[in-house]
Amino acid sequence: MKPGRPHKKTAEQLRSHRWYGAQDLRAFGHRSRTAQMGYDRKDYAGKPVIAIINTWSDINQCHSHFKQRVEEVKRGVWQAGGFPVEMPAMSLSEPFQKPSAMLYRNFLAMETEELLRSYPADGAVLMGGCDKTTPGLIMGATSMNLPTVFFPAGPMLRGNLRGTPLGSGSDTWKYWAELRAGNITEEVMKEVEDGIARSPGHCMTMGTASTMTSAAEALGWTLPGAASIPAVDANHQRMATDVGRRIVEMVWEDLKPADFLTKASFDNAITTVLALGGSTNALVHLIAMARRAGVALMLERFDELSRTTPLLANLRPAGKYLMEDFYFAGGLRALLAELRELIDGAALTINAKTLGENIAGASIYNDDVIRRRDNALLANGGLAVLTGNLAPDGAVIKPGAMEQHLLVHRGRAIVFDDYDDLAARIDDPALEVEPGSVLVLRSAGPIGAPGFPEWGQLPIPKKMLAQGVRDMVRISDARMSGTSYGACVLHVAPESAVGGPLALVRTGDEIELDVPNRTLNLRVDADELARRKQAWRTPPPHYPRGYGALFSRHITQANDGCDFDFLEGTAPIPEPEIH
C-alpha cells in the first residue's frame, strides 16, 4: 500500500518500545514472555504492535466469521512489518444479552480503552458490527487516541421465505404480528425462523448495526466502502488484509482519531444516517462518541440536519431493499457521492485521504435502491426531535417509518407502568383501547428498565390487530430496534425513573403529538401535574452491587448520550509506569 503521509515516528518512539526496547529487568521480562509464546525478537523488535480488539464470541452470531477475519487482518499486519496481537473483548450480542446489550456498551468502551492503555499497543484494529459493539469500541479508542482503524463485520446475506426476501428484525415483527392476528400458521413462522438469518454478519436491514458502521465510515474510521461489503463476500476478506496493512502505516504516520474527528465529521455522520433512514439509536451513540472526541454534539443538531437531508436509501424498515442490494447498487460511497453538496468532503479519514477523495468516481448502479436526490423517498425529515411538557429534554421519532395520518394526533393515554404490566395487559380483551389511543410505557429508560432496552415498539393490542390496525402512537422512555417501525416516540428525557413527566401521566389523560411542529405535550394543567409530582417517589434501585450499581449511579440521560459521567470528556490520563 502506498504510504499516505510522511513517517513521523522512529522505532524508538513507538509506545511499545517502552515495553520491549529498554535494557532493564522489566523489558527482559516482556521479551522472555514473548519468547514463551514462540516469537523471536526479529518477529517484533522495532515493529509497531497492533492490538486487534476482537469481539468474537461463540454466542455472537453476527461475528461468527471473525475467527477467520482476524487471521486475515494479521496477514496484512505481518506483510506491512507490524506485530499483530489479538485481544478479545466483551462481545455484545444484541439478541442474547439481557436485560439489554446497551447496559454493556460503556463496559466495552472501558475495556477497549484500558486494554489499549495497559498493554504495549502502538495502534489498534477494532473488530465489531453487532449494534452496540461499534459505538462501544469507538468510544474507547477515541478516548485512548492511538492510531486506529474500525473494521466493520459487514451485513449478513438477505433472508429468504419461499423465494421472498426477509429482513432482520423488520420481518420478525411483521410476521409475528401476522401470526398473532391469525393470518399465518406456526409452520410458516418456523420457516421464517430458519430463513431470516442465513449467514454470518450483522443485521442486513438499515438497523442499528448498518447505521453505526456506515456512520463510522462517514466519520473516517474505516477504509472506503468498508461498511457496505457483505460479511461473507471475498471482498470482505481482502478488506481485512488491507486494514492490517493500513494500520501499520498509520502508526508510522501517527494518524490518530483526534486528527479526523471534528464537528464537520460528525455532521457528515449525521447526514449519512439521515440519508440512509438509519436507526434512532444513532442519536444516543453519536452524541456519546462526539463528546469523547471533545465535540459538543446536541440532540437539536439531528433535527437541524434532518430538515435539509433527503432520504435516499430505499432500505428496510423505511424502504424496500436490504444491505446486499445496497452493496450491489454502489454502497455507501455511491450514496455519499449523491450527497456531495451536503457533506464536507474535506474531512480527513484513516487512509490519510479526505472523504471527498474517497468517494471520487463512485456511481449508483441501481437508482431505485439508492435514489437520486431529485427522486428521494423523502425530501427531508427522516428523524424528528420533539420537545414539550412531556419531554422537556427531548424525544425522537422516525416520521418516515410510520403511518402518515398519525403525524399530528391527539388521543387518550393508556399507561403501562413497566414492561411486565405491558405484557400482562396489552392483549387483555377488557383493555379499553381504540385505534386513536396513545399507548404509554414507562420505567423503560437507562435507569428505570434498567439498561435502556429496545422496548419502544410497543405491540399493537390483539384487539386492534384483528380490526386491521397496524400502527398507533406509542410513547416511552425506551429505545427501539433500528429494524422496527411505527409511530413510536422514543428516548423521552428525562426518563420516568428520575421523575421525568412520563412518570406523571395517567390513563385517560390527553396527549398531543405534532411532528411537523416537533412537539409532544400532555394536556393536563400545570397545577395538577405539580400535585402528581409531589406525590411521586423515586423507585428503589435495581442493583445493590456490581456493574449494574455503577451503571445506575453514573449513566447520563438519552439526550446526553448515556455515557458514564466519569468517562466523558478529553482530560488526559497518565500512561502506565513500566516497572
Exactly one of 80, 109, 130, 332 binds ligand FES (CB under 6 A); which one?
Answer: 130
User: Minimal distance in Å, beta carbon 445 to ligand FES?
Assistant: 22
Q: Strand, coil or helix: what is 514?
A: strand
When the beta carbons of 454 and 512 are compared against ligand FES, the nearer one is: 454
When the beta carbons of 103 and 355 are compared against ligand FES, the nearer one is: 103
- The position carrying cell 486528527 is 259
| CB of 377 closer than 8 Å to CB of 400 | yes
HSE of 425, CA atoms in CB hemisphere, 13 A: 16
When the beta carbons of 16 and 55 are compared against ligand FES, the nearer one is: 55
How many residues form the binding site for ligand FES (CB under 6 A)?
10
E strands along 140-288, which residues? 148-152, 159-161, 164-166
User: Minimal distance in Å, beta carbon 171 to ligand FES?
Assistant: 13
Q: Strand, coil or helix: what is 478?
A: coil
Q: What is the contact mask toward ligand FES in residues 90 to 119, using x (rule: CB under 6 A)?
A: ----xx------------------------
When the beta carbons of 130 and 283 are compared against ligand FES, the nearer one is: 130
Query: What's the rounded Cα separation, in Å, for the pair 77 and 248?
Result: 6
- Is 355 an interacting residue with respect to ligand FES (CB under 6 A)? no
User: Minimal distance in Å, beta carbon 80 to ligand FES?
Assistant: 30
- Is 560 an interacting residue with respect to ligand FES (CB under 6 A)? no
Residues 6+ apart with CB under 8 A from 497: 443, 445, 447, 448, 477, 503, 538, 539
DSSP assignment letter at 348: B
Q: What is the contact mask toward ligand FES in residues 148 to 187, using x (rule: CB under 6 A)?
A: --------------------x-------------------
When the beta carbons of 205 and 306 are compared against ligand FES, the nearer one is: 205
User: Minimal distance in Å, beta carbon 482 to ligand FES?
Assistant: 8
For 98, the grid coordinates are 439481557
- Single-letter amino acid code for the residue at 204: M
| CB of 93 closer than 8 Å to CB of 62 | yes
Residues 6+ apart with CB under 8 A from 423: none
When the beta carbons of 62 and 125 are compared against ligand FES, the nearer one is: 62
Backbone angles phi, psi at 419, to 5 degrees: -65, -40
Q: What is the contact mask toward ligand FES in residues 201 to 240, using x (rule: CB under 6 A)?
A: -xx---x-x-------------------------------
When the beta carbons of 205 and 552 are compared against ligand FES, the nearer one is: 205
Query: What's the rounded Cα separation, in Å, for the pair 512 and 494?
Result: 18
Which helix (H) or strand (E) segment holds residue 513: the answer is strand 510-514
When the beta carbons of 208 and 265 are compared against ligand FES, the nearer one is: 208
User: Minimal distance in Å, beta carbon 189 to ligand FES?
Assistant: 19
- Is 137 an interacting residue with respect to ligand FES (CB under 6 A)? no
Query: What's the rounded Cα separation, in Å, for the pair 246 and 2?
Result: 9
User: Minimal distance in Å, beta carbon 62 to ligand FES?
Assistant: 4
When the beta carbons of 129 and 501 are compared against ligand FES, the nearer one is: 129
Q: What is the contact mask toward ligand FES in residues 478 to 497, using x (rule: CB under 6 A)?
A: --------------------
The total number of residues shown for the chain amounts to 579
216: exposed, middle or buried (Cβ count in 10 Å: 0-12, 13-18, 19+): buried
Exactly one of 49, 62, 219, 414 binds ligand FES (CB under 6 A); which one?
Answer: 62
Exactly one of 86, 113, 131, 563 binds ligand FES (CB under 6 A); which one?
Answer: 131
Query: What's the rounded Cα separation, in Å, for the pair 463 and 522?
Result: 26
- What CA–CA distances, in Å, run from 525 to 259, 510, 532? 51, 11, 11
| CB of 108 closer than 8 Å to CB of 134 | no
Query: Which range touches ligand FES (CB under 6 A), out of 187-195, 199-207, 228-236, 294-302?
Result: 199-207
- What CA–CA distances, in Å, run from 101 to 67, 95, 453? 22, 8, 8
Query: What's the rounded Cα separation, in Å, for the pair 327 and 229?
Result: 6
When the beta carbons of 128 and 257 are compared against ligand FES, the nearer one is: 128
User: Minimal distance in Å, beta carbon 316 to ligand FES?
Assistant: 13
DSSP class per residue in 300-330 = HHHHHHHTT--B-B-BTTTSSB-HHHHHHTT
User: Minimal distance in Å, beta carbon 131 to ligand FES?
Assistant: 5
The binding site for ligand FES (CB under 6 A) comprises 62, 94-95, 130-131, 168, 202-203, 207, 209
